[in-house]
Structure 1
Amino acid sequence: MPTSHNLQIFNTTELALPISENTAFKLLEAIQKGEEILFESVEVAYVDEQEIVRINKEFLSRDYITDIISFRYDDDSYDNEGIEGTLYCCLPRIIEQADEFGEDKTTETYRILAHGLLHLCGYDDQTDSEKAKMTELENLYLSLILK
């Protein structure tokens, strides 16, 4: 897939990616504007179950499949003016989740992308209230791009 400014998307799976780069970039821009931050460089890598487990083990000491892992690289996590990061998204898991939640796979894929971008902005989801806040923001940003 070609690059859109500060967003690069790679699909290393054998599955068709159910989102468009143009709409993904609109999502990034909506979050950037709404959160008053600047994404300097974001890579999104769609991977299979084996690769997400490998990344999870190697970097987080966790041995299971997850839908997304976010890594932020820029030095100053208190300065949201030049966020750099990589989002590893497990496309088979996202599609499976869509079925579990009764959601279409395109919307679920954008939701997970929004979730990862919000993590790069500094949001966390360790508590019920943090999860609720992230879901509220995901819904807001999805409503702006999926009209």
Structure 2
Amino acid sequence: MNLQLDIQKASTEPTPDEEDIRRWITCALAGRRSADSEISLRLVDSEEMAELNGTYRGKHGPTNVLSFPADLPAELELPLLGDIVICVPVVAAEAAEQGKPLQAHWAHMAVHGTLHLLGYDHIDDDEACEMEGLETAILAELNFPCPYRDEHCTEQTGA
């Protein structure tokens, strides 16, 4: 699988290296997609994310990550998976508030957004359980800790 990743940095705040972001997204795709993949990733500030969150989700204020899967007819056989938008200051604030290493939280947001592009969701409990279990497993492959409460991770991984 070949990943074409277009990263647009629309924030003046520090962000992870492109190499790290590519590794996180590639790991999220591994075993779940064998075809070539094209993803656009936009790193934004709170104002732009708040506008996107209001427009597309009807929610006030910025959120950490939004995914916009490409809705293309399968017969086109294009590699475009879609777009991911990550809010740089929200990710930094959440990591600090939750006592998580910043790099680990960035990896989680990249993996989370990528899984959404692959069709995973967390609207109902069963979907959330599946998606959170995948996130936990992928992050473990990347040597990051479980992003959820300890007892929740135990449920997800069966440990």
- With normalisation by structure 1, the TM-score equals 0.83
Determine if the alignment matches structure 1 residue 99 to structure 2 residue 114.
no
Q: 1:39 to 1:94 in 2, by over 3 A?
A: farther
Output the CA distance in 2 between the equivalents of 1:9 and 1:115. 16
Task: Give structure 2 stretches of 5+ with no counterpart.
Answer: 145-159
Question: How many aligned positions are there?
Answer: 142
Partner of 1:7: 5
Q: Where does 1:1-147 land on structure 2 (aligned, <5 Å)?
A: 5-17=3-15, 19-38=16-35, 40-76=37-73, 82-146=79-143
Partner of 2:153: none
Identity of matched residues, %: 23
Question: Residue 106 of structure 1 aligns to which amino acid in structure 2?
Answer: Q
Shift of 1:72: 1.2
Output the CA distance in 1 between the equivalents of 2:94 and 2:36. 27
Which gives a bigger RCO, structure 1 or 2 (Cα 8 Å, sep 6+)?
Answer: 1
After superposition, give the CA deviation of every residue in 1:14-64 in whole Å (9 maximum; x if it has no partner). 2110x2222222222222222134352111111111101111222333222
After superposition, give the CA deviation of every residue in 1:85-135 in whole Å (9 maximum; x if it has no partner). 111111111111112221111110110010000000000111233222222
User: Are the counterparts in 2 of residues 37 and 81 from structure 1 also a CA contact under 8 Å?
Assistant: no
User: Are the counterparts in 1 of residues 39 and 84 from structure 2 also a CA contact under 8 Å?
Assistant: yes
Which one has the largest radius of gyration?
A: 2
RMSD: 2.4
DSSP 3-state at the match of 1:87: strand
Shift of 1:65: 1.7
DSSP 3-state at the match of 1:11: strand
Q: 1:89 to 1:48 in 2, by over 3 A?
A: same
Shift of 1:5: 4.8
Output the CA distance in 2 between the equivalents of 1:127 and 1:100. 26
